[in-house]
Structure formats: structure tokens, C-alpha cells
A and B are shown apart, each in its own frame.
Chain A
Amino acid sequence: MMSRLRKFPFWSWVWFILGAVYFLLPLYSTLDFSLSMERDKISLLAYQKAFEDKEFLATFGYSTLLAVMTIIASIVLIVPTAYWIRLRLPEARRITEFITLMPFVIPAIILVFGMIRIYSSPMSIPFTDIDLIKPLTMTKFGTNVLIVAGYMVLAMPYMYRSVDTGMRTVDVRTLTEAAQSLGANWFTIITRVILPNIRSALLSGALLTFAIVVGEVIFASFLGVKAFGPYLFLLGQHRAYEPAALSFVSFLMTWAAMGLIQLFTGGQGQTAGAH
């Protein structure tokens, strides 16, 4: 009896329950509040109203598009960079890691002001009046390019680390040499050997990027675009129940994303790659 009591991890359970209460209680309160829009009755009215709002669909769709563009651009930039550093420039790794950590240190507000300062005036050839590039902030396309570039910076720490870790697990150098000795060129090596083997790492990076972009407020607000982050922020200032409903939905979406990561990465440890 005594030995059984001694084996019971009492303090571990105490900390676990405290942690669970800390995280789950606010979530439960949010859910409870979102279901009480109608007096003395549990209803999904807040959810119905939130989803019926045209602004919701428009802003969410726009943010999703921005997230997809950010993910594609990040993959195009980061995969070859991380690959080349692993293959040919290992000495550049420390400086690259330092650069990718910069978004944690420099607040987004500084980045967005810097971008507006530089790209709101035309770029001209020095000492002439000839404009090379029109101000990017003046057009919708230019603004979208700026915002995607900004999001790429914000998501860089997560995307770079995911890709780099993925490449470490599959020994890209030897796989590259094996493919080269079999006659493959760089394009074939990247598309048929490297990318399929870091699929789960790419998915992790992509889902984290998606979560960052969809909830981002500062870039979208200062560049004046109608994205989901500012919409949620405004909604929270003017309504009570709908923001709670949307917050709970975004929790569910995050969990679904985590589940997807688990589903795609499950069992990959033993394979050192996708299969």
C-alpha cells in the first residue's frame, strides 16, 4: 500500500491540473459567454450572426489569400536558402539563424513604419527625376506585395526553423550527392528528393505561418487593408458575443491545424522522411 502511494506522482498531477484549469477555464468561459446571447437560453445566435456578416467572409477570405501567398513566397525563398546553407555554406548558418530571430526582437510596428517610409515615395535614379518604381503603397497590388513581404519576415523564424530541422533529419547532403551520382540536376533533386522528404516540416511551417497571418493586426491596420485581424479587433470594440464566438472558432481552427500537423508528421521519426 505504502509503495503504491509512493509511486503515485502526486505533484505532477497537481501541476497538470493547475495548468489545465489555467488554460481551459478561460476557454470554457468564452464558450459559455458565446452561447448566452439570448437571455436564459443556450443558443448559437452569436455564431450565426458572426458568420452571416459579409465583412467576416470578405476579411477572412482576404487574410487566407494573403496567408497562402506568404506561405508560397516563404517556401520559394527559405527552402533553397536553407538547402544551400546546409550543402555549401555551413559557416553562414549562425548569421542566418541570427537574422531569422530578428522579428522576435524588432516589433512589427517598427517594421511597418520602415516599409511605409521607404515604399511610399517613388524610387528614382540618384541625381535624376527618372522614377524606377512607383510608390508601392499607392496601388492595391503594391500594398499586397508589401504586406506579404512583411508577413514573410514575421513568419521567418518559424518557417526557417521548421525547414532547417526537416533538412537535418534527412541528411540532405548525402541524399543530394546520391541523386547527383544518378544523373539528377538541381531542379530534380529539389522537387523529387528534398521537398518530398521535408513535407512534414513544410506543413508545420505553413500552418504556423497561416496562424500568424490570419490573426495579424498591426501590418494590416497601418497599410490600410481589410484583413481578418483588424476586423476581429473592431468587432471586439463594438460587439460582445460575436467576438467570443469567433475567438472560440479560431481556437478550434488552431487545434485542427495542430491535429493536421500530428497526422502528417506522425510516424516520420522512424522513417527520417516522408512516405
Chain B
Amino acid sequence: MAYLSISNVKKQFGDTVVVDNFNLDIEKGEFVSFLGPSGCGKTTTLRMVAGFEIPTSGKILLDGKDITDKAPNQRSVGMIFQSYALFPNMTVAQNIGFGLRVRKEPEATVKQRVDEMIGLINLEKHSHKYPYQLSGGQQQRVSLARALANRPQVLLLDEPLSALDAKIRVSLRSEIRSIQKSLGITAIFVTHDQEEALSISDRIVVMNMGEMEQVGTPFEIYNFPKTRFVANFVGSLNTADAEVVDADNGLVSVDGVQFASAEELKGRKKGDKVKVAIRPERFSFASEQKKANVVDSTIENITFLGSVVRIQVKIGNTKFNMDTFNNPFLELPKIGALEQVTCSKEAVLVLDE
């Protein structure tokens, strides 16, 4: 049985259904991210696990016990907020020890645990400081230590990195992941940042309009999106209208240019309208590597993005983006030049219209 089980959970505010038919089993020690755009229901789902919202229907079981209707202070769940939510009237040490003192732990235990937690987040020199004397990153680390001091069964992180600048965000997410791994704590991480979710998670739940679109490892979510929404939301994607040419051999046509996909197109027949999706990095110039799909194209535009160069090519009447690594010693084609580009069969995803 799963450590945390969310079954058929639905949440409705008035007539608006915010989360519907949410089913997820999370194993002990697993790091799961809820990824989706604003208003997709990810934070509401997290708040139902925390106890701040009660599901309209469905059940939440933690270690076999039903916690669906339990008050937040009756659950063994730690929460980290986007705005840090440190108590301004308490020092770092007092903030971290708050939960332990609420539980009336002996003062010696409180002190020992607080020292341990302060060591874990490397803020030994700041234990006597008030939150306003710390940077955003330091405050969020204190918030992490405070949540972990109580040794919760599940750690919930509600967009904890959104208020931080880019560099701190990257370093803190690695720190969160390494602390979570070392303590073996089960964690749910809510984010709308796909890079964050892909880099930190064991599994990702992609959500859209209150429903789960796909659950899988970061590799599966990125490389094998099951729905058009996931394909579009995670990573950049070229999509084009296409028509089935040969369903058994996975052949489709975009503006008369044929593309072969790796899978046969089950349930489809010749002439059916479909969408073709190809990630920009899956394209390359045909001279570099011979692949299944070699097509003629015209170079339309070239954009320098630092480590990557984005080249816009026109295949038939449709424009596709192609990403290649920046190599200062390789000459880029000229705009307007005719080039053959290619991609593997596995790169061609055929989605419903």
C-alpha cells in the first residue's frame, strides 16, 4: 500500500470545480512535483493534503490512516510557503523550535534539534537573527528547517522558490533535494516552472484545469508526452497540422512533406487530420547525421540564445524551430539558404487534432 494515497479527490468552490478525479499514490521517500499553469488546481490539491482545504469528495490516506477531515495541526505534515511565513517576532532559533515547543518537547530536546537543523541549513552564525535580517534564500532555508524540525511524515512545498532570484533558486533547489534524499522524507513540490520540476522530482504530475494530464518520471514526461497539453507545456515544441498517409507505417504528411513516426497510428486511417509534434532539439542538419526523416527546408531566421542557437526553418509552408548547441567554430547557414534537415522517427509525435 502507498504511503500517501489520494483517491478520487474532488474540490468544488460554489459551482466551480477546482480539482476533479485526482488519484495518486506516493511511496515513502518519494519526491513528487505538481506541475501546471496558474489555476490548474495544484496548490488546492496540496492544501487538501495539508488540511487547509477539505475535499468535497474523495479520501486522503497517510500511512494507512484516513486524514481527509483532520485539522492541519492534527496531521504530521510540514509546509513551506512561497512567502516563507517565518514568524517576525521570533529569531531563527525560535522559529525552528516553535513546533517542538508547541508539542511540549523537553527544552533539551528542542535545543538539540534546533542546533541540528541550523547545522543542516548552514546558518549557524544567524541563529539569533530575526527574519528581516536575512536574505530571501536564507529565510526559505529557515522555513525548511522549521518544517523539518517536527519530523513530519510528509513535506509540502508550495512554490518555495518563486520569490527568489534565478541563481539562488537553482542552488536552493539542489539543497532541498539533497536534504530530502538524506532524510528520506516524502515530499510534494508545487511549481509552475517546468525546469524546476524536471530537475528535482522522482515523478511529476502534470495538471490542467483541475485534472491530471499525465503522471511520470521527468524523462517520460519530457520525451513521451501523452497529451497535447503536456507536450506543449513541458519544453518547447513545434506543432503542425498533418494528415495520415499510411497508418500502419506511421506516415503523416505536413503540407505534402512526409514524416515517419516510430509507432503505427492505431485507430486512425488514411486522410485523418492529426497534429505532428517535434521538439526543436530533435532536428539537425541532414549532413551531420543521416536519419529517417530527411526533408528540404529554407532557413528563415537565426536567434542566438547563449548555449543554444535557435534556427527557424520552413518545411513546406510550415515553420519549425530547430535548436543546436552553440559552437563558435561551426559556421551557421545564411538566412534564405536551402538546407536539408532531419529527425528520427522517435522524435515525431502524432497527437490528436
Which of A177, A188, A199, A274 touches B72 (beta carbons < 8 Å)? A177
Residues of chain B lying within 8 A (CB to CB) of residue A174 = 81, 83, 85
Q: How far is the CB of B114 from chain A (nearest CB, A)?
A: 13
Contact with A along B120-136 (1 / 0, CB 8 A): 00000000001110000
User: Are B150 and A275 closer than 8 Å at their CB atoms?
Assistant: no
Contact with B along A234-275 (1 / 0, CB 8 A): 000000000000000000000000000000000000111111
8 Å CB interface, A161-207 against B:
170-171, 174-175, 177-185, 188, 192-193, 196-197, 199
Which of A184, A193, A275 touches B130 (beta carbons < 8 Å)? A275
Which residue of A has the minimal Cβ distance to B150?
Answer: A182
Given A177-B81, A272-B132; A184-B87 close (CB under 8 Å): no
User: Are B132 and A270 closer than 8 Å at their CB atoms?
Assistant: yes
User: Are A181 and B71 closer than 8 Å at their CB atoms?
Assistant: no
User: Are B81 and A178 closer than 8 Å at their CB atoms?
Assistant: yes
Contact with A along B298-318 (1 / 0, CB 8 A): 000000000000000000000
**Dominant secondary structure at the A interface:** helix
Q: How far is the CB of B57 from chain A (nearest CB, A)?
A: 22
Residues of chain A lying within 8 A (CB to CB) of residue B78 = 181-182
Residues of chain A lying within 8 A (CB to CB) of residue B131 = 271
8 Å CB interface, B152-167 against A:
156
Give A183 to B89 CA distance when docked, in angstroms. 18
Which residue of A has the minimal Cβ distance to B156?
Answer: A181
Given A174-B81, A275-B130; A181-B102 close (CB under 8 Å): no
Given A183-B102, A270-B132; A175-B85 close (CB under 8 Å): yes
**B interface residues, how many (CB within 8 angstroms):** 27
The 6 sampled A-B contact pairs (Cβ below 8 Å) are: A177-B81, A182-B147, A183-B102, A183-B150, A271-B130, A272-B132
Which residue of A has the minimal Cβ distance to B91?
Answer: A275
Q: How far is the CB of A87 from chain B (nearest CB, A)?
A: 11
User: Are B83 and A181 closer than 8 Å at their CB atoms?
Assistant: no
Give A184 to B152 CA distance when docked, in angstroms. 14
3 tightest Cβ-Cβ pairs between the two chains A and B: A273-B88, A182-B99, A178-B85
Residues of chain B lying within 8 A (CB to CB) of residue A181 = 50, 72-73, 77-79, 147, 156
User: Are A188 and B87 closer than 8 Å at their CB atoms?
Assistant: no
User: Are B89 and A171 closer than 8 Å at their CB atoms?
Assistant: no
Which residue of B has the minimal Cβ distance to A193?
Answer: B87
Residues of chain B lying within 8 A (CB to CB) of residue A185 = 73
8 Å CB interface, A104-160 against B:
none
Give A199 to B103 CA distance when docked, in angstroms. 25
User: Are A197 and B102 closer than 8 Å at their CB atoms?
Assistant: no
8 Å CB interface, B21-80 against A:
50-52, 71-73, 77-79
Given A182-B150, A183-B150; A177-B79 close (CB under 8 Å): yes
Which of A177, A180, A182, A197 touches B89 (beta carbons < 8 Å)? A197
User: Are A197 and B88 closer than 8 Å at their CB atoms?
Assistant: yes
Q: A177-B85, A183-B73, A183-B150 are in contact. List 6 more A-B contacts (CB 8 A).
A: A177-B50, A179-B102, A197-B89, A271-B131, A272-B88, A272-B132
